[in-house]
């Protein structure tokens, strides 16, 4: 070995030792950082140095000082054929078939055993049913009912005049015995005050928006995110998840983005005290679609 090579190895040895020393000190530093009350950045730096020192030291040692092979050259190994010898294969097949024939002599037993296992697998599916309930009713209806007041998240009932034209408010049904915002996943509704001269409801929706107070489901018909943004200038609702736009003046039909269906409209009226109430549940299922949404 040349002296140049030897001195190079000396340097690498020293570097490796230094890396291990840094790791050791960093581990102690981590313990100190923790003991002194813990500080995420210090913990992170010391932990990284502890791991990194060990990694660097071992890396130098492995790459620079350890041989690939005791011969000093690159190690070479032959690959064995992966397949077994034809004799072994034939012997295996023969042994297996012998056993199989033994079993096949009693076909009735075999059939019965298979049937028993199949029945067991079928029976095992039943307890899975406990994981959920029949989905249809929950998907097709919400807790909104006729005469239920629209309340804010704070529980305040709303009159049409409480909103200025262009203002939007998230409302929920005033469910008896439940806090405001209960069942919000289904019931969240956007109440928007529009200028009644700006939009012309279709005949079947006439009288659903007293004094221009119009209500749409807040659950996006695309992937179910809350349609949380309102552009009062363009009269568009924006879903922040996938950027669908719904035109509030045109029954919340989608005008841009991936949504295919309008946001369902909640029919409103006012009660004796002038507060907004629902005329009933949404006339169609709210939220993202499913295969039998329009079916019975």
Partner 1 sequence: MLIRRLVRGIDDRVGAARFTRSALGKVFPDHFSFMFGEVALYSFFALVGTGIYLSLFFEPSQREVMYQGSYQPMSNVPMTAAYSSALRISFDVRAGLLVRQAHHWAALVFLAAIVAHLMRLFFTGAFRRPRDLNWTVGLTLFLLALANGFAGYSLLDDLLSGTGLRVGSAIALSIPVVGPWVVSLAFGGEFPTDEIIGRLFVVHVLIVPLAIGALLAVHLGLVWHQKHTQFPGPGRTEHNVVGSRLWPRYAVKSVSLMFGTFAVLFALGGLVQINPIWLYGPYDPAKVTTSAQPDWYMGWLEGGLRLFPPWEVRFGWFEIPAVFFPGVALPTLTFAVLYLWPFLERRVTGDRADHNLLCPPRSSPTRTAIGAGALTFYGVLFLAGGQDVFAVRFGLSVDQLLVMFRAAVLIAPPLVGWVTYRVCRRSYTSPEGAPPEGAASPGGAPPEEGAGDRVPSHRVTTTSAPRPTATATSPSDTGPM
Q: Which runs of E-coded beta strand occur in 152-292?
A: 168-173, 189-193, 213-217, 229-231, 236-238, 245-247, 253-256, 265-266, 268-270, 276-278
Binders of partner 1 among residues 83 to 112 (CB under 8 A) are none
Instruction: Give the residue, chosen from 18, 25, 157, 223, that forms a contact with partner 1 under the rule CB under 8 A.
Output: 223
CA 91/CA 260 separation, integer angstroms: 63
* Binders in 148-187 for partner 1, by CB under 8 A: 153, 170, 172, 181, 184-186
At 265, list the tokens: 């409209």
Query: Interacting stretch for partner 1, rule CB under 8 A, among 85-93, 115-123, 197-205, 218-226?
Result: 218-226
- Cα separation, 210 vs 191, in Å, equals 11
- Binding partner 1 (rule: CB under 8 A), the pick from 47, 157, 175, 232 is 47
Q: Does residue 124 interact with partner 1 by CB under 8 A? A: no
Binding to partner 1, residues 264-293 (CB under 8 A): 287-293
Helix (H, G, I), strand (E, B) or coil at 281: coil
Which range of residues in 41-49, 93-101, 191-199, 275-283 is near partner 1 by CB under 8 A? Answer: 41-49
Contact between 20 and partner 1 per CB under 8 A: no
Check binding of 75 to partner 1 (CB under 8 A). Answer: yes
Of the candidate residues 52, 196, 210, 262, the single one contacting partner 1 (CB under 8 A): 52
Distance, first Cα to last Cα, the chain? 88
Q: Determine if 228 is a binding residue for partner 1 (CB under 8 A).
A: yes
Give the residue with the Cβ less far from partner 1, 239 or 276. Answer: 239
| Residue given tokens 């807790």 in the structure block | 143
Do 276 and 191 meet the contact criterion of CB atoms below 8 Å apart? Answer: yes
Q: Binding residue for partner 1 (CB under 8 A) from 242, 271, 280, 283?
A: 242
Q: 18, 54, 232, 270: which one contacts partner 1 (CB under 8 A)?
A: 54
Neighbours of 35 (CB within 10 A): 8
Considering the complex, what minimum distance in angstroms separates the CB of residue 104 from partner 1? Answer: 30
Q: Based on the number of CB atoms within 10 Å of its own CB, is 141 exposed (0-12), middle (13-18) or buried (19 or more)?
A: middle
Q: Tell the smallest beta-carbon distance from residue 59 to partner 1 (Å).
A: 4
């Amino acid at each position: 070995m040349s002296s140049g090579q030897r001195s190079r190895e000396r340097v690498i040895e020293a570097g490796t030792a230094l890396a291990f020393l840094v790791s050791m000190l960093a581990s102690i530093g981590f313990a100190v950082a923790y003991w002194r009350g813990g500080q995420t950045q210090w913990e992170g730096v010391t932990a990284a140095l502890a791991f990194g020192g060990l990694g660097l030291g071992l890396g130098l040692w492995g790459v620079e000082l350890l041989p690939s092979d005791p011969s000093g050259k690159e190690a070479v190994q032959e690959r064995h054929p992966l397949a077994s010898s034809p004799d072994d294969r034939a012997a295996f097949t023969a042994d297996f078939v012998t056993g199989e024939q033994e079993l096949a002599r009693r076909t009735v037993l075999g059939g019965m055993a298979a049937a028993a296992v199949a029945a067991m697998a079928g029976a095992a599916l039943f307890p899975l049913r406990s994981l959920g309930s029949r989905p249809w009713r929950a998907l097709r209806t919400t807790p909104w009912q006729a005469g239920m007041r629209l309340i804010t998240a704070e529980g305040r009932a709303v009159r049409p005049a409480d909103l200025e034209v262009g203002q939007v408010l998230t409302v929920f049904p005033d469910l008896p015995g439940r806090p405001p915002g209960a069942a919000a996943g289904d019931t969240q509704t956007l109440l928007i005050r529009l200028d009644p001269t700006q939009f012309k409801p279709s005949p079947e929706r006439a009288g659903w928006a007293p004094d221009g107070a119009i209500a749409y489901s807040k659950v996006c018909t695309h992937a179910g995110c809350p349609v949380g943004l309102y552009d009062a200038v363009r009269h568009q609702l924006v879903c922040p998840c996938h950027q669908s736009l719904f035109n509030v003046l045109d029954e919340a039909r989608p005008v841009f983005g991936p949504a295919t269906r309008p946001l369902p409209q909640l029919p409103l009226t006012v009660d004796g005290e002038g507060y907004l109430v629902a005329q009933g549940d949404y006339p169609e299922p709210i939220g993202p679609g499913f295969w039998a949404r329009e079916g019975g």
